[in-house]
Amino acid sequence: MNKIDYLRVSLIDRCNFRCQYCMPEDAQLTYVLPQDLLSDQELLTLLREVFIPLGWRKFRLTGGEPLLRPGVVNLVREIASWPETEDLAMTSNGFLLSQMAEDLYQAGLHRLNISLDSLQKDNFDKIIGHGSQTRWNRVWEGIQTAFKVGFDPLKLNVVVIPGVNDGEILDLAALTIEKNWHVRFIEFMPIGNQQLFGDRTFIPSGLLRQQIRAQWGLMESTVKGAGPAEVFKIPGSRGTLGFISQMSECFCDRCNRMRLSADGWLRPCLLNESGQLDLKTDLRNGVSLEQLREKVRQVLILKPEINFQERESGTDTGIYTRTMSQIGG
């Protein structure tokens, strides 16, 4: 069994974008009340006293949009200061980064993934929920600022949506040629957004690689990440190209992660709600830390059986009670 040592920690379920693959336009979202979120102290207690003793060493802060969490820089500073923390990263939509990148870097956050699903302002606007095209400018400014203050390499996440941004694959891949940027192409998961995107399905990563290979050539990279991406590079480029193929090339057998939602639910798998634990309620009800560790330990034992391979077997119902933003996907 893969060593489970990577925890994605959602800091907040709110976001200042409404990306259609994350928060479908027709979704009736019920946000967690502030008092029902894990407090800073509760979150730090769970990480330090429950997860680290069970072997977790890698943490990624997510949302919603994690930079909306009050005091996020202080949380970063605290987690980064622990000697057990081997890796601390964040995934952001980049909108607030031009103001916060320097503080985050100085606090100890040295790895950053930024969502950039399009280089075309009209496309970007469509994907993030029909806002103002100035938001693309703010995100691009955030990317430049983050790179300037020291986030090197910088990762850019691209969810490839058929008929929306799949015509930009080469333009996005070209960002890796002159800068040490890592672009990650993520297969679109048509969950909860069928009305918007209709019958469009995902584009297999293999087809994207063929397209890039025909333009420049493609070789395997010696730079490997901690996650599920298969990493390649354009010959002579400074950065890399990663392909996350959760739909076409299931990687459940090498999954090393779990997810902790902003309201304290531990989730072993993004697309399977089996085995969830409500750690916040237990913590507030006085359940001992040793008992919490034992509950999490039991989920660790069960994790190999809790995956989304049921999608292929036909046993998956396709019904998910939480959107990506609420899970902290």
Report pLDDT digits (tens) over 65-108: 999 999 999 999 999 999 999 999 999 999 999 999 999 999 99
Spatial contact of 161 and 208, defined as CB atoms under 8 Å apart:
no
Q: What is the mean pLDDT of residues 139-164?
A: 94
d(CA 89, CA 255): 17
Query: 207-255: per-residue pLDDT in tens?
Result: 999 999 999 999 999 887 667 789 999 999 999 999 998 878 776 777 7
Peptide bond into 64 cis (omega under 30): yes
Whether 123 has a pLDDT exceeding 70, the answer reads: yes
pLDDT attached to residue 194: 52
Whether 329 has a pLDDT exceeding 60, the answer reads: no
pTM for the model: 0.90
The residue ranking higher by pLDDT, 258 or 273, is: 258
**Strand pairing class (240-244; 6-10):** unpaired
Q: Other C-beta atoms within 10 Å of 170: how many?
A: 13
Instruction: Tell me which residue of 272, 233, 267 sits closest to 250, measured CA to CA.
Output: 272
- What does the mean pLDDT of the chain come to? 86
Query: 155-167: per-residue pLDDT in tens?
Result: 999 999 888 899 9
Query: 168-186: per-residue pLDDT in tens?
Result: 999 999 999 999 999 999 9
Q: Other C-beta atoms within 10 Å of 35: how many?
A: 6
Domain ranges of the chain: 6-327
CA angle (25 as vertex; 206, 13 as ends), nearest 5: 85
Instruction: Tell me which residue of 83, 138, 77 sits closest to 105, measured CA to CA.
Output: 77
Q: 6-327 has which fold?
A: TIM Barrel (3.20.20)
pLDDT attached to residue 316: 45
pLDDT attached to residue 199: 57
Peptide bond into 153 cis (omega under 30): yes
Query: 3-39: per-residue pLDDT in tens?
Result: 889 999 999 998 888 776 676 565 566 778 889 999 9
Structure tokens at 17: 């974008």
pLDDT attached to residue 23: 64
Dihedral angle sign, alpha carbons of residues 46, 65, 111, 218: positive
Spatial contact of 132 and 158, defined as CB atoms under 8 Å apart:
no
